[in-house]
């Protein structure tokens, strides 16, 4: 982990007007729903997928295709350190925005007379954390594979393919395809349903192991891809 790389990523994201506008819309719209429909509680906040995609798009590929990475790699910085720092930077930024959104939603709901319980708030925050670190790792892998914002395109294509396979599996009653598509979707957007995990007894280890292995595998593959990458001008 390299603090310089992490803080630079944050500043880079903050200075991107388009990115910040997308994040503001993705955060603001659910908050408006919370404000005007307090009976729905925190449900309108949904998940962190949109925010994370807005923050993570091009997290590595942009540096590769622009040539910025070449200058960075001339410094005593391991490529694995770079990948992990980009992942942490994006995930922590997504988590910080999620927590801010959660705090505002909690305050609004309290003001409207429907305050969420501390347990609800904690579960929401923890779930968002798992989403941010999970999707951040997958985006790091996709971004190491393709230059520019190609990672976003890859993610969207893979999501559509996964969705189509799932629908086809359900329509044809092919349980194997339905299961395969479901696993694929979960690998693409790794997360943990904490509410279900806590309620279950005994603790179901499969989703935990599945989540951790998806994150670790995505990061390991991203590091391998980056270590094998040759850097020349506009090599993306």
Q: Which is nearer to other proteins, 33 or 72 (CB)?
A: 72
**Site for other proteins contains 71 (CB under 8 A):** yes
**76, 113, 118, 202: which one contacts other proteins (CB under 8 A)?**
76
Which residues, 8 to 27, sit near other proteins by CB under 8 A? 8, 11-12, 15-16
Closest approach of other proteins to the CB of residue 121, in Å: 35
Q: Which is nearer to other proteins, 84 or 109 (CB)?
A: 84
Whole-number Å distance between alpha carbons of 11 and 67? 19
**Site for other proteins contains 1 (CB under 8 A):** no
**Site for other proteins contains 49 (CB under 8 A):** no
Q: Which is nearer to other proteins, 43 or 227 (CB)?
A: 227
Q: Cα angle at 92 between 96 and 81, to 5 degrees?
A: 165
Q: Which is nearer to other proteins, 173 or 228 (CB)?
A: 228
DSSP codes joined into one string, 41-68: TTGGG--SHHHHHHHHTTTTHHHHHHTH
**Site for other proteins contains 77 (CB under 8 A):** yes
Closest approach of other proteins to the CB of residue 69, in Å: 9
| Lookup: tokens for 82 | 């770079």
**Site for other proteins contains 44 (CB under 8 A):** no
Phi and psi, residue 231, nearest 5°? -110, 115
Whole-number Å distance between alpha carbons of 116 and 97? 19
**Site for other proteins contains 72 (CB under 8 A):** yes
**Site for other proteins contains 233 (CB under 8 A):** yes
Whole-number Å distance between alpha carbons of 196 and 144? 33
What SS3 class is residue 233? coil
Whole-number Å distance between alpha carbons of 176 and 2? 43
Residue whose entry in the numeric block shows the structure tokens 């003001």: 111
- List contacts with other proteins (CB under 8 A): 2, 4-5, 8, 11-12, 15-16, 66-68, 70-78, 230-233
């Amino acid at each position: 982990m390299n603090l310089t790389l992490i803080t630079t990523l944050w500043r880079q994201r903050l200075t991107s007007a388009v990115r910040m506008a997308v994040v503001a819309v993705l955060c603001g719209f659910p908050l408006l729903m919370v404000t005007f429909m307090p009976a729905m509680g925190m449900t309108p906040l949904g998940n962190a997928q949109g925010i994370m995609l807005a923050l993570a798009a091009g997290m590595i590929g942009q540096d590769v295709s622009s040539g910025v990475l070449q200058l960075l790699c001339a410094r005593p910085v391991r490529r694995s350190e770079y990948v992990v720092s980009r992942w942490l930077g994006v995930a922590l930024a997504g988590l910080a925005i999620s927590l801010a959104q959660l705090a505002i939603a909690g305050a609004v709901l309290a003001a409207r007379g429907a305050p969420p319980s501390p347990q609800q708030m904690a579960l929401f925050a923890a779930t968002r954390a798992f989403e941010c670190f999970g999707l951040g790792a997958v985006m790091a892998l996709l971004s190491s594979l393709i230059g520019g914002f190609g990672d976003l395109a890859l993610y969207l294509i893979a999501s559509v393919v996964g969705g189509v396979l799932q629908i086809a599996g359900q329509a044809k009653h092919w349980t194997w395809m339905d299961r395969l598509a479901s696993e694929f979707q979960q690998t693409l957007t790794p997360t943990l349903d904490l509410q279900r995990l806590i309620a279950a007894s005994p603790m179901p280890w499969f989703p935990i192991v599945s989540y951790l292995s998806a994150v670790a595998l995505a990061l390991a593959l991203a590091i391998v891809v980056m270590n094998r990458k040759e850097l020349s001008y506009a090599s993306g």
